[in-house]
């Protein structure tokens, strides 16, 4: 069970026993809030001050509680929370975010192709992503399971349909090539040679198209053009992923040159040194919430509703937080004992973020680009 989910379960149980009431929790959001509190509401006439004190005594990970206007705010001990989340991600790796929501459910997933190229592309991307979401939530893909169809037509007997909205594009036969040409032009401005490897351009084209197709709710129509490249959210996401990976690559190079010692095991690193606003936002608002986003993306999947667009939105907002972290926090520091403690903690934080990126990329079906 994930740290946030485990905490919520235990908190809910404790409050229910103490008050004989159910609570309504408002979990951390992806809004960049330095306070990072968890809020919950409780009905009735309970003494909330007394309850807040008992909650603080019960959970060592809680720093303080306050109550006002019928709800209680909880602040976590940042060092313990960060350590717990980073350790969990680095321990579970590619399994971080997976769960057993549909454990043992056999699912038969099919799609009905559309006549136009761009809508058909969206249908195929939806099918791939839905299948991966189903598997990460415990589904077993099979030919004799619960039937789920991805189609642009809603009416079907004896099966639930994930409705795929049309994709409108004026020159659909040139859709991919025009996107590649635009990305090649953008990429060339970033390097001295003026040329970018075709393999990388193809990968960037893929993330650009996938994000464009999946970031809009599946039943909505997409009216797409190549657009303005500096507003290409898929490229922005991959660029920030690549930034983090390049920090790690530079560190490994300096280790080979004996400038740094190898990175110690994350279980031996003191994460209390991660005290910046940007670090807390990344851990509290994004890394902690990734498993919740996965559950929300597939909560109503078997009845024909998926929320893959929420996963896309999560990636975009996390990338904005990564960009802020990158610009305000130096990671590779001088090899002095007090600075190395900070550097090692930040490198493990980066590894945790990279892990979440790659897990999410796998779900939406894109190959990651480590050099941009």
Per-domain boundaries in the chain: 3-76, 106-168, 177-364
Query: Closest by alpha carbon to 211, among 183, 174, 189?
Result: 183
Range list of H helices, 93-116 = none
d(CA 195, CA 215): 30
Identify the H or E element spanning 162. Answer: strand 160-163
195: left (phi over 0), alpha (psi -120 to 50) or beta: beta
Report pLDDT for 198: 81
d(CA 292, CA 99): 10
* Structure confidence at residue 71 as a pLDDT band (50, 70, 90): confident
CATH superfamily of 177-364: Isoleucyl-tRNA Synthetase; Domain 1 (1.10.730.10)
Residues shown for the chain = 372
d(CA 203, CA 222): 22
DSSP letters for 338-356: HHHHHHHHHHHHHHHHHHH
Say if CB 301 and CB 134 are below 8 A apart: yes
In terms of Cβ atoms closer than 10 Å to its own Cβ (0-12, 13-18, 19+), residue 244 is buried
pTM of the model: 0.90
Task: Give residue-wise pLDDT tens across range 241-289.
Answer: 999 999 999 999 999 999 999 999 999 999 999 989 899 889 988 999 9
> Does 295 have pLDDT greater than 80?
yes
Task: Give residue-wise pLDDT tens across range 158-194.
Answer: 678 999 999 988 766 688 888 888 888 777 666 555 5
């Amino acid at each position: 069970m994930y740290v946030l989910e485990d905490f919520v379960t235990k908190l809910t149980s404790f409050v229910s026993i103490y008050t004989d009431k159910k609570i309504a929790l408002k979990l951390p959001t992806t809004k960049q809030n330095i306070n990072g509190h968890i809020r919950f509401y409780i009905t009735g006439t309970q003494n909330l001050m007394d309850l807040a004190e008992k909650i603080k005594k019960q959970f060592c990970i809680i720093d303080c509680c306050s109550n006002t206007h019928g709800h209680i705010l909880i602040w976590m001990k940042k060092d313990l929370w960060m350590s717990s989340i980073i350790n969990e991600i680095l321990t579970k790796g590619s399994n971080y975010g997976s769960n057993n929501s549909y454990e043992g459910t056999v699912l038969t997933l099919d799609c009905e192709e559309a006549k136009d190229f761009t809508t058909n592309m969206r249908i195929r991307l939806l099918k791939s992503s839905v299948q991966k979401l189903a598997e990460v939530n415990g589904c077993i893909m099979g030919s004799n399971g619960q039937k789920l169809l991805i189609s642009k037509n809603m009416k079907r007997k004896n099966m639930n349909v994930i409705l795929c909205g049309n994709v409108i594009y004026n020159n659909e036969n040139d859709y991919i090539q025009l996107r590649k040409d635009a990305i090649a032009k953008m990429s060339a401005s970033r390097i001295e040679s003026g040329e970018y490897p075709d393999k990388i351009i193809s990968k960037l084209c893929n993330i650009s198209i996938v994000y464009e197709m999946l970031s809009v709710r599946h039943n909505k129509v997409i009216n797409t053009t190549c657009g303005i490249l500096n507003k290409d959210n898929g490229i922005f996401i991959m660029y920030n992923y690549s930034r983090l990976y390049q920090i790690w690559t530079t560190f490994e190079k300096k280790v080979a040159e004996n400038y740094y010692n190898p990175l110690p095991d994350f279980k031996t690193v003191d994460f209390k040194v991660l005290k910046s606003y940007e670090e807390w936002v990344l851990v509290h608002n994004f890394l902690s919430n990734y498993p919740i986003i996965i559950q929300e993306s597939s909560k109503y999947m078997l009845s024909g509703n998926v929320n893959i667009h929420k996963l896309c939105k999560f990636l975009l907002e996390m990338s904005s937080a990564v960009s802020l972290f990158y610009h305000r926090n130096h990671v590779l520091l001088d090899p002095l004992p007090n600075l190395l403690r900070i550097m090692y903690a930040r490198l493990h934080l980066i590894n945790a973020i990279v892990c979440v990126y790659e897990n999410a990329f796998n779900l939406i079906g894109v190959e990651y680009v480590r050099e941009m």
